[in-house]
Amino acid sequence: MIKAEDLIALVRNYNPRTNEELIRTAFDYGARMHEGQFRYSGEPYFSHPVEVAAILTEQQMDDATIITALLHDTIEDTKSTYGEIKKIFGEEIAELVDGVTKLTNLQLSSTETKQSENFRKLFMAMSKDLRVILVKLADRLHNMRTIRSMRQDKQIQKSRETMDIYAPLAGRMGMQWMRDELEDLAFKVLNPEGRASIIRRFITLQKETGDVIHKITSDIEAELEREKIEAEVFGRAKKPYSIWRKMREKDQGFSRLSDIYGFRVITNSESDCYRTLGAIHQRWRAVPGRFKDYISQPKSNGYRSIHTTVSGRDGKRVEVQIRTREMHEVAEAGVAAHWSYRDGERVQNPFAVDPAKWISSLTERFGTAEDHDEFLEHVKLEMYADQVFCFTPKGDVVKLPRGATPLDYAYAIHTRIGDSCVGAKVDGLRVPLWTRLKNGQSVEIMTAEGQRPQATWIDIVITGRAKSAIRRSLREEDKERYIKLGRELARVAFEHVGKRATDKALGTAAKKLNLDDVDDLLAQLGSAEINGRDVVDALYPNLAPRGGEEIDPARTIVGLSPDQHYDRATCCQPVPGERIVGITYRGKGVVVHAIDCDTLAEMEDQLDRWVDVQWSSGRHPAVHSVTLRLTISNNAGVMGRVCTVIGEQNANISDMIFLDRKPDYYRLLVDVDIRDVAHLHQVLTALEAESDVAAVERHRDPSRRGEVLAAAAEGDQKLGV
């Protein structure tokens, strides 16, 4: 295991002003917390966090990130806490460690719905501080390097997760070297035979052709020397998984695959990059369609380089990447270059992307996804996409993922243009909407008023923005049709029980069913997501008779002695289903109050008189009087309809008092005998649905508190009657 002083030396190499004492403290703290813990390999567990920190020193990360790596498993796997880390190392490091802990607990390779929820959490954590995911990627890299110590089923699970999620994410962040290594390590587990086959063919090829890399490197260096261009040239064979992927994409065998070698030319200036390109193209024939200029059109993660493929020595195709040293640093570190240090100072690399802007560009459209599947689709499209650059007729550049179509281009410009698209011209020629766009093409979109997106467009476009916009438009179009059908279905369902499907009734039903509004209810009714009976039952659940035996009215309260009788308090009118408290009076009478009754506050100093009582379980008789306060229209027949509605809910009106009579409305109190709190809510809902009922609410009379308290003082045994 790397020692503390060795790790500090690695940091000091690029940051002489590092806080050595804090790193040493973190090292000792992590070692102490993980003491007695071991990895599957039998090594001390703390060797893992140390190796993760060492990987991050290769990216020249800041002290906070290095310390986070040393502590990243302490909260999850030891007795350490967030508060303790914050106290010792400060809030910044505590937040980073906590963020990595939360990422570790996400099961990103689980079922689709949960996976999409966890992806949301992943990107939320990234948006707070991108260093969290940098530590997590280094953590995954070391785990993959030592994966052979795990059970076979765990190896396969972790390798698939790495291939599907962490490797593409590393690539999307510009850390291509890490993506290549993660993919190859996962490939070694998932397809060991395929990987071994490619390696064997490489060995055979080297025996047949000799050291091709050295020969081509020398050829390029000679051309650059002839043009007096100062540069370094590096060559390498591509990773086995990269070759395997190309074989599958191109459906070619290894012997027919040409560009299995890659070369990099690192120059001193941007102008030297283009001079180098000219020298290489002068010496070797360029392969058509294999040229990309990411210097003039950088990738969103800051990557800049010129890519070209040429027919080199013996006609073999080789890929050449040309970039400056500063561009190379960003190409190696990706977004992590933002935190890189040199000589104790933050490196102001002009090509390093601001992490806040990068994560914003990555997630800006995710919020438009209206369900889990759409969000997951957006994430995967963003992570896996390479880019092509097309031009508008005015010469503006539009960035699109590889494989994008003119429809994707139209939606990238504006949703309105995409929705009204009827055709496209590419480089002046009319093309089908499913045409795949290429780098450098000029695209013109033709639109027509009244055009609407077609369902088949979903299969044509590949960008999340286009798919989301098309789905939204199709939903809106379908919704109008479903609303019309739903209104007719609602009319029939309500007439079946002798009711009218008014907008007020439907609005009340929508509220009861937790839907947004009447249109939402009708759309779901028309699309068969709910049925007419559901809507009617939400308002009038008692139109159908209910079965079950009723409780004896004399035994509705549990908790009283046989010689105690009770009365319901008139101030709060408690009903079965509500929490209650009994108050005793002389003569052994008990008055039952609702737990939220204001009267109880006046009795807090007499707790010896409180009795723990509760309602009996079962079906209560409709004998519990509750006062309702109504405001109704002053029209012929309205009072009769109100009484009918209450009767239809199997509730009885026991008293009625008019409070106010106006030319256009009445205000009144109605005493209704109900069974329980659920029955009360059904009565209130049915009344609220009536068009002529302007307002209805349960009425509790606080003025009766005086009666209660006076009777308590006098010992009135009939209190509350």
Using CA atoms, how far apart are residues 66 and 7, in angstroms rounded to an integer? 9
Residue among 429, 430, 436, 384 at smallest CA distance from 406:
436
Residue with tokens 């920190």, as numbered in its chain? 53
Please, which residues have CB within 8 angstroms of residue 413's CB and are 6 or more apart in sequence?
Answer: 392, 398, 445
Using CA atoms, how far apart are residues 611 and 602, in angstroms rounded to an integer? 16
Beta bridge pairs of residue 266: 232, 323
Please, which residues have CB within 8 angstroms of residue 610's CB and are 6 or more apart in sequence?
Answer: 581, 582, 583, 603
CA–CA distance from 528 to each of 114, 176, 485, 522, 523 (Å)? 26, 49, 10, 10, 9
Question: Coil, strand, or helix at residue 625?
Answer: strand
Pair of tokens at residue 295: 């210097």
Beta bridge pairs of residue 285: 311
Instruction: Give yes or no: 354 in active site.
Output: no
Q: Which amino acid is at 26?
A: A
Residue with tokens 């499907």, as numbered in its chain? 501
Using CA atoms, how far apart are residues 96 and 396, in angstroms rounded to an integer? 40
Using CA atoms, how far apart are residues 409 and 417, in angstroms rounded to an integer? 10
Instruction: Give yes or no: 459 in active site.
Output: no
Of the residues 20, 76, 117, 520, only one is catalytic, namely 76
- Contact criterion met (CB below 8 Å) for 705 and 571: yes
What are the counts of helices (DSSP H) followed by strands (DSSP E) for the chain?
Answer: 29, 23
* Relative orientation angle of helices 176-190 and 152-161, to the nearest 10 degrees: 150
Element (H or E) spanning 231, and its range? strand 231-237
Please, which residues have CB within 8 angstroms of residue 27's CB and are 6 or more apart in sequence?
Answer: 4, 7, 50, 70
Of the residues 77, 84, 164, 221, only one is catalytic, namely 77
Using CA atoms, how far apart are residues 261 and 320, in angstroms rounded to an integer? 9
Q: Give the dihedral of Cα atoms 428, 432, 438, 441; nearest 10 deg.
A: 20
Residue with tokens 């989301």, as numbered in its chain? 468
Residue among 611, 628, 625 at smallest CA distance from 570:
625
- Contact criterion met (CB below 8 Å) for 451 and 420: yes
Among all residues, which ones are annotated catalytic? 76-77
